[in-house]
Structure 1
Amino acid sequence: MKFCHSCAAPLENPQFKGPSESYCVYCTDDQGTLKPRQAVKEGVAGWFLEWQPGIDPQAAQARAEHYLLAMPAWAE
Structure 2
Amino acid sequence: MKTCIACGMPMKTQNEFAMGDESKDYCVYCARPDGTMQSYEEKLESMTGFIIRTQGLVEDAAKSAAKGMLEKLPAWKK
Superposition TM-score, scaled by structure 2 size: 0.81
Residue 17 of structure 1 and its aligned partner are, at CA, apart by: 2.4
2:7 aligned partner: 7
* Deviation (angstroms), 1:31: 3.2
Aligned residue pair count:
75
Tell me the equivalent position of 2:38. Answer: 35
Any unmatched runs of 5+ in structure 2?
Answer: none
Deviation per residue, 1:8-62 (Å, 9 max, x gap):
1121145632225201111111332111111100111111112212x11111011
Which one of the candidate residues 57, 60, 63 is aligned to 1:61? 63
Distance, in Å, in 1 between the alignment partners of 2:77 and 2:35 is 20
Extract structure 1 runs of 4+ deviating beyond 4 A. none
Q: TM-score, normalised by structure 1?
A: 0.83
More strand by share: 2
Unaligned 5+ segments in structure 1 are none
Task: Give the SS at the match of 1:42.
Answer: helix
Query: Does structure 1 conserve the Cα–Cα contact (< 8 Å) formed by 2:18 and 2:30?
Result: no
What do you get for the CA RMSD once the two structures are aligned?
Answer: 1.7
